[in-house]
Every structure is written in structure tokens, then in C-alpha cells.
Amino acid sequence: MAVRADPGRSRPTAVVLRRAQILDVASGELSAPRTIVARDGVVAEISDSTRTVADAVEIDVEGQTVLPGLIDAHAHVTQASGDFNEILSWSPQYHAARTSWVMHEMLLRGFTLVRDMGGADTGLSRAVDERLVTGPRLKAGGPIFAPTGGHVLTKVCDGEVELRRALRAEFRDGADHAKLTLSGGVVSKMRLEALGFSDAEVLAAVDEARLAHRYIAAHVYTAEAVSRALRLGVRTIEHGNLLDDECTALFLERDAFYVPTLVTYWAIISGAAGHGLAASKRAAVEDIFERGLESLAKASAAGVRIGYGTDLHGEGLRFQLEEFRLRTRVQEPLDVLRSATLVGAEIVGEVGRAGIVAEGAYADLVVVEGDPLADIGILADGRSLRLILADGDPVRPG
């Protein structure tokens, strides 16, 4: 039987991984060879058994390392181009086709769950669930929300009533979260230090999310903007490259999450993305990248819960795994891997189901050649990926 996922095809009844050495991302320990049985999209058994499983696809992974499927907590699956004007010119059907391809490529990099932070709606989540699209599980948040004069590619809302109305519609339609732009951006027209939305508007958004049993994420950069967002009840901070000690204390006090996105700046600095960007903007990107590394180190040392995010677009999407290498400049490989598994599962409300290899969890697994704790490049370059199990369906990269 072929080991690949085709849109519309049902998954195998069962998949058995033999002689699997499982990396426990909580402890950092590697298990002795085990047998993993996945059935109906769930890990049904982890044992020493060598018995034959009826109607199963058998795969021998001797000498390889089995990890939980990876989680990108800040992705943009609908942004297949880095030129936002180009995206706006696409027909809806062409845009859907490009998005489907982006999702497929993300899965081949080992990402079995992504949290979309602006662009994807619940129709795409449904398409994945119904196996019409081959890709990771998707947590969709709908459009990005901004006030007049705010950040790019957003749904503009002014005033508490307008914002509440828009959020109610998104949450009614099944959005898992909503993102507000509470500061400017590095390459947008809104100044980096400028604050978006009034306190009353943010509190209204947080209240609507609470009523829907959902949460608010915030695009922010400066320490002032991060502290303000946390005090107003925002649950996840996106980017946050300019943290100070007050910020890290507030993360802990408010039980919030930090999702840096270093690779999106690295892609521009390396020349892989951001073509046509003005020299002054490139200099700003270089500075914000270095400050982002410093903030990541500060947050990590303080014990802040940190998710793995990338915020890539267009030609930069292929560097989704490079975030692993960048973060190990200031973090240990195991801490980065926890961000992309255990913490990611906390962020998206899938604790015990995603980000872990355990009986009863999703059969979302990654098999790599070598030990990523000894060499994070095993994950970062993607060439050591041997197999992805997505919802119990085996997929070979390449």
C-alpha cells in the first residue's frame, strides 16, 4: 500500500510502526524500541508487542527517532505570496488552490497542526477534517482585526459595538481565536511604537472571546504594547520583540503565552524574502531580529511559556523549519522542541491530544533520522524527515 495521503481518500484502518524509539519531549528521554499502533486517527497502543495487527500498514522505523507532530502557532496558510496586492488580485478559486498547496507543503515539513493568525476561515478547517485537503489540522481565526489606520491586510473595525459585532460573527462561524493588531509593524505604514485600538475596544474584544469560550491574540512589538495587551486580558502575544522585565512578569502573572516569529525577519535579512523592500526597512528588520533574540532569551530565562511561530509568507514559507535553528542561538534544543509540541498544544487547547506521543493522543507523528537534541539541524533542514503520520495516515516527504 502506498504511504502517502491523497485528498478524499480514507485513512488506513491501522498503521503499525515497529522498533520505534520515541522521544519524550517532556523529559528529553529516548525510549527503547517500541511498537506504536495507530487506529482511526488515534494512537491506540504503545507496547513491546510483536504480534501481527490485522489489516494494518506495517512500517519499520528501526534506528530512527519518533517525535510528536510539530505545531506552528503562528502561520498564514492563505498567504502563498509575499506580495499582498498580488493576493488581493487572485480569484477565490485560485486562492483556494494556492492555499491547498501551502497546507500540503506544511504537512511535508512535519507540521501536523497549525494555528492560522490571519486569513484562514473555518471552511478550510472543515476541508481538512473531511480530508478534501491534505494538510495539518487547522485552528482558524478568520481575518486580522485592526482600527482605521492600522496594520496591513486586516478587517477594519472602529468602536466597541462594531468590534463586538464582527467578533460575534466570527466566533459563531467557529473561529478558534481572534487576532487584534495592537501596535504597528516593522514594514507596515503604522509606526512600530503606535498603539492600536482603545483600552475599551480591547476589553470589549476580550469579553466577547470569553463569552464564546475563545481567546484574543495580539500583534504587538514594543514593551509598552505587550504590557498593555497583557493587562487588558490578551492570552497570546505575537512577535513581542522588545520585551522588558515588566513584560515577562506579566506573562507569568496573567498565565499568557509568548509566540516569537524570528524566522520571518531572518528570511528578509538572508535575501530569501522581502524583495523590493526599502533599505531603511531592511535595517529596521535587522534590528528587530536581534532584539527578538534578546527578548526570547529573557522570556525563556524567566520561565514564560513560549510557542513556536513563523509568520512566513510567499517565498519565505519554505523556511518554516529554520525557526528551530534560530532559537537555539539562545535556547536549548529541547526547549525549542517543547515550544513546537507541548506548549503549542496548550495554546490551541489540545493538551493530551496533540504535541505528545501517547496512547489516546492524535496519531500525528514525525519520524526523523538521528537525534534532534544532539543536532537541531536534523529538524531545521528537513532532509532527515523520513515519515509523517497525520491523523493516522502515513505520508513520505519528498
CATH of residue 191:
3.20.20.140
My answer on whether 299 and 386 are in the same domain is no
> Could you list the pLDDT tens digit for every one of the 398 residues in the chain?
234 456 656 677 899 999 999 999 999 999 999 999 999 999 999 999 889 898 899 999 999 999 999 999 999 999 999 888 899 999 999 999 999 999 999 999 999 999 999 999 999 999 999 999 999 999 999 999 999 987 766 799 999 999 999 999 999 999 999 999 999 988 777 888 999 999 999 999 999 999 999 999 999 999 999 999 999 999 999 999 999 999 999 999 999 999 999 999 999 999 878 777 778 788 899 999 999 999 999 999 999 999 999 999 999 999 999 999 999 999 999 999 999 999 999 999 999 999 999 999 999 999 999 999 999 999 999 999 999 999 999 999 97
| 42 falls within a domain | yes
**Structural domain contains residue 3:** no
The tally of domains found in the chain comes to 2
Cα distance between residue 337 and residue 5, in whole Å = 25
User: The domain containing residue 322 runs over which residues?
Assistant: 70-347
Q: Are residues 178 and 154 in the same domain?
A: yes
Q: Based on the domain organization, do 134 and 244 belong to the same domain? A: yes
At 7 the pLDDT is 61
CATH number reported for the structural domain that contains residue 20 in this entry: 2.30.40.10
Q: Are residues 183 and 85 in the same domain?
A: yes
Looking at the fold, whether 183 and 314 belong to one and the same domain comes out as: yes
Q: Let me know: does 392 contact 15? Beta carbons within 8 Å.
A: yes
Residues 31 and 138 in one domain: no
For residue 4, what pLDDT is reported? Answer: 45
The verdict on residue 6 lying in a domain is no
- The reply to whether 229 falls in a domain is yes
Residues 38 and 80 in one domain: no
